[in-house]
Amino acid sequence: MVDVLRGVALLGIAVINVRGFVRPVEELVRGGIVAETPSDRLVLAAIDALALGKLYLLFSLLFGFGFAVQAEEVPTAPLVRRHVALIAIGLLHATLVWPGDILAVYGTLGLLLLPLRRTSTKRLVLLATLLLSLPVLCWGLIGGVALFLSERVPEAQRALAGDATLAAELSRLYGAGGDYPSFVRAQLATLTETYFTGVVTAPAVFAAFLFGVTLARARWLHVAPAHEKRWRRVRAACLFPALAANGALAAFHFLAPPESAFDGWTIAHFVAVAIGGPSLCAIYVASAALTMGSGEPRSATTRLLAKAGRLSLSFYLMQSVIFAALFYPWGFGLASGVSVAEAEVIAVGVYALQLAIAAFWFDRFRRGPFEQIVRAVSRWRVSL
């Protein structure tokens, strides 16, 4: 079931991340993507309600689950090397392909899990709960202060609006024109700002890590049928906040002004993501546990999704490379000529291609290429 969930999450990651290839990540951080047509608005509303802020948390939870399973059998040194390898791959990914990388954040936070391996489950749950509340509190505080200053201090308003020269250069590099070296320099110039997003999401990511660890310890996913009542309670408890917050996310695309600006709508959007993401993620996991149980995937579809899930690291990077080649000016340069809805269709097509590759891959190999690299680094040897 864990691999099936990873496989499903890959689709959500594709339809969310493709936005960062049709618009600069720096622009997305400042104000979000703008829907220019009714079809774009409908597509973005559906994806925000179902995937935004949910799927990266699902991956994070499964990452924590896998960490707990490995920590029972693997010494500390290989685990450290594994996370250092993820950081290195993530930094290369962010510099050379796409600055919206999450692997470096995962690797860094994964190192912080090591000292907590012997912490009691009760304390881990308490810490995770506190961390999940931080994004809501922080965005409320940051938003209030920022909006207060922006109305009274012209310099603060200009700071929130960002550097117009840099924004214009990014639009040129991501839209039409700009060679690859200039593109890499632009990504390096915005790397710090881009990782501000990682800092903001780090509490929720680490909380999901901790919940994954606790699920592994309690064996809620190992023997899901034995915990059916608990999973039903989880799903029921999360239903109202999930419906309210994600309904609001969808409504923002029809109610908020089209201008990409840091204002009250932006703050409300981030708060809705901070509430709707964890709650719907929990519903997804609970529904999978209640539907699939703990055994091996039975249907052809779930078996194929499980194969894709076992290639999640390689497929995550593969999505970025394909999107970059399709949308960036040093590739086919489609970013300036496709609508948001068309970009999402392309993302689904890329995911379908990956499912086909997964079916082919495991007939010939035991693990994915980047999974093998991380394994080799952690074990200091190459095995086929």
Fill in the amino acid letter for 336.
S
User: Domain coordinates of the chain in residue numbers?
Assistant: 2-377
Distance CA 305, CA 222 (A): 18
- For residue 4, the model assigns a pLDDT of 92
Distance CA 316, CA 310 (A): 11
- For residue 181, the model assigns a pLDDT of 84
Fill in the amino acid letter for 117.
R
The length of the chain is 384
276 Cβ neighbours under 8 A, 6+ residues apart: 49, 53, 54, 241, 242, 244, 245, 246, 248, 249
- For residue 339, the model assigns a pLDDT of 86
Burial of 380 (0-12, 13-18, 19+ CB in 10 A): exposed
- For residue 134, the model assigns a pLDDT of 80
Distance CA 128, CA 73 (A): 24
Give buried/exposed letters for 266-292 (b at 16+ CB in 10 A, else e). Answer: bbbbbbbbbbbbbbbbbbbbbebbbeb
Distance CA 241, CA 239 (A): 6
pLDDT tens for the 384 residues of the chain, in order: 899 999 999 999 999 999 888 865 444 544 455 566 888 889 989 999 999 999 999 999 999 999 999 888 888 899 999 999 999 999 899 889 988 889 989 999 999 999 998 899 999 999 999 998 887 776 666 656 555 555 544 444 444 444 445 455 555 555 555 678 877 887 777 676 666 656 667 889 999 999 999 999 999 988 888 899 999 999 999 999 999 999 999 998 888 776 555 566 777 888 899 899 999 999 999 999 998 876 666 788 889 999 999 999 999 999 999 999 999 888 888 887 788 889 999 999 999 999 999 999 988 898 999 999 999 999 886 554
